[in-house]
Amino acid sequence: MKLSPSAAAASAINHLLRRASWTAARLAPHVGKTAAFQVSPITVALTVQDSGNVTAAAPETVADATFALSVGLAARIAAGDASAWDEVSATGDGEFARDIGFLAKNLRWDVEEDLSRAVGDIAAHRIVGLAGSLDRWRKQVTASVTASVAEYWTEERPLVATSARVGQFVHDVDTLRDDVARFEKRVEKALRPSAVE
């Protein structure tokens, strides 16, 4: 049996909610309310339950709060970028939307804990450590390549000017302007007829 996107999302979110007991108090005032997350062309609608979990909303349910996410924002959120939630457009029940946003920013998946159940504690710790090392390496390579490209375009093939070169250009223009003004005054003085007695 194939799970709907809402049912699959509810299962994953409930897994996180069960591990964070503080979430039940945050969701308690919103029991029975439905939040819809629209990532075109998919909409995931979840209803808050008495237990502090969520369930897939019935198709005819009208959402109390709706969150519109671009595919790019959804990818950033999936990658763990909590700041991406600040760019999500929310409509409807403002208090409910704020609490959902707070949960979304603060719920964390303990990957190592879940892996340890499948492969054991030591292997899970090593896998997570390796993944962290690979992520740090990816960030270092990205920063290095970015710096190299920037240096190439500013030094080797000066398509982009450095701030030092722009500053020197502005200084040279100011000097030229002052020199031209002094020259104009000399020319005016030289061309002025002398007072003849």
Place of tokens 């707070």: 102
Q: How many domains does the chain have?
A: 2
11 and 74: one domain? yes
Q: Is there a domain that residue 124 lies in? A: yes
117 and 93: one domain? no
Q: Is there a domain that residue 46 lies in? A: yes
Long-range (24+ apart) CB contacts under 8 A made by 85-91 are 90/65, 90/66, 91/65, 91/66
Q: Tens of pLDDT along 47-58?
A: 999 888 888 888
At 66 the pLDDT is: 92
**Distances from the Cα of 182 to the Cαs of 28, 176, 186, 187, 188, in angstroms?**
78, 10, 6, 9, 10
76 and 23: one domain? yes
44 and 81: one domain? yes
Contact of 39 with 71, CB cutoff 8 Å: yes
Cα(55)–Cα(105) distance, integer angstroms: 20
88 and 118: one domain? no
Give the pair of three-digit tokens for residue 90.
Answer: 């929310």
Q: Tens of pLDDT along 88-113?
A: 888 998 899 999 888 888 877 655 56
